[in-house]
Structure 1
Amino acid sequence: MSKSRIHNAKPAIAAFLDDYPTGIFKPSDIATILAEQRSGWALAKGTGVQAFTDFLCNHAELAKLTFPFPYRSETRYTWGKVSLMQVLLSLKTGAYFSHLTAANMLGLVAQTPSTIYLNHEQRPQPQDPHLAQGRIDAAFARRPRASNNAIEFGAIQICMINGMHTNQMGVINKASRYDGDDQGVLRLTGLERTLIDMTVRPVYSGGVDTVRTAFELAQGALSVKILVDMLQKLKFVYPFHQSIGYYLERAGYAGASLDLLRRMPTEYDFYLEHQMQETRYEKGWRLHVPASW
């Protein structure tokens, strides 16, 4: 590498990256930029991608972030001030924040959680529509399935969820704060979708106590009609409407809102979460809930 050439080109490189549409780059983006701008910057032909990125990391504002997820490690480079949350959204096309992370951004969780949940939807999968009481009982007696595609990143954990295909239903763009800092405009599930997701997967949501509180804090902003419409479009096999109805009732929602849930079929006994030790039975919703409630 010719240090004199790349040092001479540094102001032009910096100006180019300052004007780039985004301050987040994949390794392939850096390679493309180098290939397209090499002659204009008068860089030596021997200046490779690694040498180029090393120079910018050591002598300019380029920073390298590595995310060693078990299923696939990802690397991103940032230029200038870019929030970690924006970088995380770049890891997968169409990714968005969900469950406890979205709840925090929507003001449904007061304390910043130590885990960030990033959702990347699966391709459409066929579902087995057959449901029987014995299958429900057996499934909820076991531990819930949970993603192990997670890493420790400084003081936080980042969990990549390979979520159900929803065609991005209920996902919004919102100027957001996380851990007290402005994060810019982020993609996350909106209020109704977040409450559905928390009900379906309390393991990603801080547990059922946190879910219950989220429903309470959502009063005044939540549209139960939108939630029910979304729930019907998602076509879950399990009767999660019974759990949602119970949460709404406990939170003191009006009878008209509850009627939207009560009109849905209630054919099976259901469970608020997996592996509950001591329970009591809510006959009106045919639902097993924690005994302490």
Structure 2
Amino acid sequence: MSRRTKLQLAASLIAQAFQAESGRVYSRPALTAMLKRYREAWQLPASVGLARFIQFLQDSKQLSVVRLSADTGEVVTRYVWEQASPQAVALTLRPSAYLSHGTAARLHGLTDQFAKVIYVNKEQSPKPPPRGALTQEAIDRAFKGQQRASTYVFHFDIYRAVLLSGKNTGALGVEDVPTPEGEFLPATNVERTLIDLTVRPNYAGGVEEVLGAFRRAHEQEKVDVAKLLQTLGQLNYVYPYHQALGFYMERAGFSEEALASLKALGLHHDFYLAYGLKGLVYDAGWRLHHPRGL
């Protein structure tokens, strides 16, 4: 009978330690730290280095390797203990990141899309507020062009992780949301998600998909209108996105009381449902240009 190695003797203790961890996805530095922390308890000699440790776990089918490749040529390696969702893997690309836009909408049951596209939001550092008053000319000029979109994309398996650099909000409206795999991952709540989709419909599949998300949110009674208004106020956007929110909510069947609270914020400018739209019609009730047929 062959003699068992130190790693084999420690296998059950290693498994217990991994099971006790809150996450299932690790970088090489994280595995190095874990090996250092438990080396004595596992009775592993110094000759057991990181490479040997990883190889042992891979051979035992408990640890798998995921490589995320960016369009820029950057490659990131992650190690998954037993099983983790693609969203959990994508979140490890940046510290303190959270799931947002179309991905958050899917987790909340507001869309069936974005199973293969994962939006990961890493907030920017605080910026000073813009100076000067908002003018109609500035709105018209900005919304005639195309909205900027992130091109920082990582590919792994069948998935695409899109890294976003959102405005600094202090993770406003971010909470732990369950995934189909039974994890709880940081993602924007329903109210923040609906606002984010309104502001960036290109990260939601377009304005038709955004309207569909509002309809589902209303049908499933998932929206706290007071919380939505509070969140919108805290986000402090320069553009009057409350007009776009009101438009979506009206067509989704929200109450007159909810719509009135948005109109009370003022209708001082003509606005647009999204950037770069063609063949627009005008909704006088919300002073909003939008595509025909919505």
TM-score, normalized by the shorter chain, greater than 0.5: yes
Report the Cα distance in structure 2 between the residues aligned to 1:169 and 1:271, rounded to whole angstroms: 25
Q: 1:113-262, aligned counterparts within 5 Å?
A: 113-130=115-132, 131-177=134-180, 182-219=181-218, 220-262=221-263
Residue 96 of structure 2 corresponds to 94
- Opposite residue 203 of structure 1, the aligned amino acid is N
Call closer, same or farther: CA 1:82–1:11 in 2, change over 3 Å: farther
**Residue number among 13, 16, 21 corresponding to 2:14 in the alignment:** 16
Report the Cα distance in structure 2 between the residues aligned to 1:46 and 1:110, rounded to whole angstroms: 50
- Deviation string 1:119-177 (CA, Å, 9 cap, x unpaired) is 11111112314322222112111111111111222222111111111111111212232
- Opposite residue 250 of structure 2, the aligned amino acid is E
SS of 1:123's equivalent in the other structure is coil
Report the Cα distance in structure 2 between the residues aligned to 1:39 and 1:116, rounded to whole angstroms: 39
Call closer, same or farther: CA 1:38–1:107 in 2, change over 3 Å: closer
Call closer, same or farther: CA 1:173–1:33 in 2, change over 3 Å: closer
SS of 1:284's equivalent in the other structure is coil
Identity of aligned residues (%): 35
Task: Output the TM-score relative to the length of structure 1.
Answer: 0.88
Report the Cα distance in structure 2 between the residues aligned to 1:239 and 1:132, rounded to whole angstroms: 11
User: How many residue pairs are counted as aligned between the two chains?
Assistant: 286
CA contact (8 A) 1:6 1:43 kept: no
- Opposite residue 105 of structure 2, the aligned amino acid is A
Report the Cα distance in structure 2 between the residues aligned to 1:238 and 1:6, rounded to whole angstroms: 67
RMSD of Structure 2 on Structure 1 (CA): 2.3
Gaps of 5+ in 2: none
Q: CA deviation at 1:53?
A: 1.9
Residue 110 of structure 2 corresponds to 108
- Deviation string 1:92-128 (CA, Å, 9 cap, x unpaired) is 2222111111111111113454311111111111231
Report the Cα distance in structure 1 between the residues aligned to 2:23 and 2:9, rounded to whole angstroms: 18
Q: CA deviation at 1:223?
A: 1.7
